[in-house]
Amino acid sequence: MAFTDGPIYSLKDYIWYTPAIVGGSAPANPQDSSNSSQWWKISDHDIIFWLGDMNYRISQPNDQVRKAINEVSIATLQKKDQLRCEMELDRVFSGYFEPSIDFLPTYKFDINTDNYDTSEKSRTPSWTDRILYRSKRPTVFINNQIELDTIQTIKYSSINNIKFSDHRPVSGLYLVAIKYQCDEKRSNRIREELIREFDRAENESIPTIEVHPRPPQIIFNNVRYLDKPTYPLTIKNIGECSCTCTIVPSSISSSFHCLTFTPNTPYAINVKQQQHVNIGFNAKTNLRQISDIIILHVEKGADTFITLDVTLDKGPFCLSLDDHPITLYNNETKKYIYSNDRKPDSEHIVEMINDPPIVYISLIDCLRERNDVDLLNIFNSDTQDSLDLIPIRDKLYENNYDFTNNSTGEILMIFLYLLQSLPQPLISYEIQDKIFLNAKETLSRPEDMAKAVSIIIERLKAKERNLFFRFLLLVQKSWPTKDQIEKANQESGDTFNICIDILALSILHEHLDRNQRHAFILACLNEEKKN
């Protein structure tokens, strides 16, 4: 066994097996090369510990060895130990030393027992596992006065409670005196070189990215309900190693759920590669002004903070019913006033303080006048994908209530979106809590849910109750028959349950669980049919 030649090469040369001559090839046998004197051998080291399964045995009959072990009389066995005999004759391990052995032979045991070999071979117990040591300087002086052994054995023993092998492990504890002379200048130079080398390696292992635009600032102005503005972001890996990035909310973020990322995070980016991301804002629910921070997190690297500023144009969306203008009614024509020129000072114009806002009335009245409100068809996924609600949404922003050219599906969906955008659902959270919060079991029967519906209607304010009844009348008029429900489910999956989901969410939002929402909307329809 040979090591690298001399301390004239870099640290790497000590780790890898390299030739004596730079640029040359490693000789097959370093000891036979012309430069063999430059190669370090095991014997060239100042202090050597040699340990392992030496495989030496005890030169004595098996039954005598086992008898001595049973009598714990191992001194006679040591005299017959083959390794000690060979070392005393200087045939092996010349100059090596081993302290006296005061533990039982360590080989061979039946696994997981304290029994020596009971197999057919019945091997003779022996000390096969050994620790030997050697020092070029047997003794050293401390302060040129006290002479000490270079290596002092503190403990040499076997570990008897480890039994998963047929050997017992052997351990040694030693006190070793090191004689050295330190070249401080050279030591400092090597230390500085190592620090620079490790710093360079560490820096190369730190992921580094560059983000464009710089700095990343997401600014969306005058966003309307249902708008989906996007912000393009490019993440470039400019480091020396691959990196993984994710976009996460900051501790203060409350609008992260409104964002979409295409493609979805996380992003694995190779060296010198880049990732394009479109960050979208879904202006649909809980529309409000936003000033926020999100984080582009780089695993094991430095994070990038992205500011998010959104100014919103709510229009008629996300307003409570009381935040809308008072609804006006013309007693002479017996019609609601839809135009902007309302002339509230006219003697025929009255304020309908208990009626819903005119935007809700206009949509409901338009739907009630039509005979093509097919709920199952409107909530079919293909129909939903084909709807373009932006034109009718813009009409609502402009207080234009002429829906002649809009489809029935567009009118119904924009009406439901108005309901879903209410800060408080039509059936307020407070009422839902009082009726449903602790009544999951008591409302399991249809008749109990019917009673709950009656109680809820009584608790509603006049304006909410008015809009609630208009909603139910509209749904009742267009409610599908049993045959229509079965046919729709056969053709396009669970369309009926999707229909109930959307209708229930429109008036309850997501405060209750799905089963409660379904039971409530069905009970409402049954109650209305009775009336």
For residues 302 and 341, membership in a common domain is answered with no
For residues 334 and 478, membership in a common domain is answered with yes
Q: Beta strands 217-224 and 304-313: pairing type?
A: parallel
For residues 72 and 117, membership in a common domain is answered with yes
For residues 343 and 215, membership in a common domain is answered with no
Who's near 382: CB < 8 A, 6+ residues apart?
Answer: 492
C-alpha torsion angle, residues 220, 224, 226, 229 (rounded to 10): -20
For residues 398 and 466, membership in a common domain is answered with yes
What CATH number corresponds to the domain at position 450? 1.10.555.10
Q: Do residues 442 and 516 touch, judged by C-beta distance below 8 A?
A: no
Nearest Cα neighbor of 373 from 408, 420, 406 is 408
Q: What is the pLDDT of residue 523?
A: 83
From residue 333, alpha-carbon distances to 87, 191, 349, 403 in Å are 124, 97, 10, 21
Q: What is the pLDDT of residue 133?
A: 96
For residues 353 and 451, membership in a common domain is answered with yes
| 514: in domain | yes
104-113, 345-354, 495-504: range with lowest mean pLDDT = 345-354
| 188: in domain | no
For residues 298 and 345, membership in a common domain is answered with no
What integer best gives the mean pLDDT of the chain? 85
Who's near 266: CB < 8 A, 6+ residues apart?
Answer: 244, 245, 246
**DSSP letter at 443?**
T
pLDDT over 70 for what percent of the chain? 88
| 46: in domain | yes
- More confident call, 192 vs 527: 192
For residues 332 and 279, membership in a common domain is answered with no
Q: What is the pLDDT of residue 415?
A: 94
Coil, helix or strand for 523?
helix
What CATH number corresponds to the domain at position 293? 2.60.40.10
Token digits for 500?
A: 């109930």
CA 28/CA 139 separation, integer angstroms: 37
CA 98/CA 315 separation, integer angstroms: 92
- pLDDT over threshold 80, residue 478: yes
What are the beta bridge partners of residue 49? 133
- More confident call, 22 vs 213: 213
- More confident call, 512 vs 1: 512
Q: What is the sign, positive or negative, of the torsion defined by CA atoms of 365, 367, 371, 374?
A: negative
Q: What is the pLDDT of residue 26?
A: 43
CA 376/CA 480 separation, integer angstroms: 7
**DSSP letter at 107?**
B
Residues 458-480, mean pLDDT to the nearest whole number: 90
| Residue 495's pLDDT band (cuts 50, 70, 90) | confident
Q: Do residues 501 and 389 touch, judged by C-beta distance below 8 A?
A: no
Q: What is the pLDDT of residue 97?
A: 95
CA 108/CA 106 separation, integer angstroms: 6
Q: What's the total number of domains in the chain?
A: 3
| 23: in domain | no
CA 319/CA 310 separation, integer angstroms: 18
Residues 166-171, mean pLDDT to the nearest whole number: 96
- pLDDT over threshold 50, residue 28: no
**DSSP letter at 356?**
P
From residue 444, alpha-carbon distances to 151, 313, 450 in Å are 83, 43, 11
What are the beta bridge partners of residue 79? none
| Residue 105's pLDDT band (cuts 50, 70, 90) | very high
- pLDDT over threshold 50, residue 376: yes
Nearest Cα neighbor of 33 from 46, 15, 21, 44 is 21
Q: What is the pLDDT of residue 205?
A: 82
Token digits for 8?
A: 């004239």
| Residue 12's pLDDT band (cuts 50, 70, 90) | very low
Q: What is the pLDDT of residue 446?
A: 65
Who's near 177: CB < 8 A, 6+ residues apart?
Answer: 140, 142, 148, 149, 150, 151
Q: Which residues of 300-339 are buried (b: 16+ CB within 10 A; e: fewer)?
A: ebeebebebebebebbbbbbebeeeeebbbeeeeeebbbe
For residues 253 and 402, membership in a common domain is answered with no
Residues 37-47, mean pLDDT to the nearest whole number: 77
| Residue 179's pLDDT band (cuts 50, 70, 90) | low
| Residue 143's pLDDT band (cuts 50, 70, 90) | confident
Q: Do residues 133 and 140 touch, judged by C-beta distance below 8 A?
A: no
Q: What is the pLDDT of residue 445?
A: 66
Q: What is the pLDDT of residue 452?
A: 80
| 104: in domain | yes
CA 423/CA 322 separation, integer angstroms: 11
Q: Indicate left, alpha or beta for 52 from its phi (over 0: left) and psi (-120 to 50: alpha).
A: left
34-48, 139-153, 244-258: range with lowest mean pLDDT = 34-48
For residues 304 and 370, membership in a common domain is answered with no
- More confident call, 160 vs 526: 160
Q: Do residues 396 and 315 touch, judged by C-beta distance below 8 A?
A: yes
96-110, 197-211, 258-272, 359-373: range with lowest mean pLDDT = 197-211
- More confident call, 9 vs 511: 511
- pLDDT over threshold 50, residue 11: no
- pLDDT over threshold 50, residue 268: yes
| 290: in domain | yes
For residues 494 and 366, membership in a common domain is answered with yes
- pLDDT over threshold 60, residue 6: no
Domain boundary among 128, 154, 177: 177
| 191: in domain | no
Q: What is the pLDDT of residue 253?
A: 66
Residues 481-508, mean pLDDT to the nearest whole number: 83
- pLDDT over threshold 80, residue 2: no
Please write the tens of the pLDDT for every residue from 88-99: 999 999 999 999
Q: Do residues 140 and 177 touch, judged by C-beta distance below 8 A?
A: yes
DSSP H or E run through 467: helix 462-477
- pLDDT over threshold 60, residue 9: no
Domain boundary among 177, 192, 218: 177
| 204: in domain | no
CA 65/CA 69 separation, integer angstroms: 6
- More confident call, 166 vs 3: 166
Token digits for 250?
A: 């900051």
Q: What is the pTM of this model?
A: 0.58
- pLDDT over threshold 60, residue 460: yes
CA 39/CA 45 separation, integer angstroms: 12
| Residue 443's pLDDT band (cuts 50, 70, 90) | low
Domain boundary among 282, 312, 342: 312
Provide the domain limits for residue 105.
Answer: 40-177
- pLDDT over threshold 70, residue 241: yes
For residues 294 and 335, membership in a common domain is answered with no
Q: Indicate left, alpha or beta for 233 from its phi (over 0: left) and psi (-120 to 50: alpha).
A: beta
Q: What is the pLDDT of residue 342?
A: 52
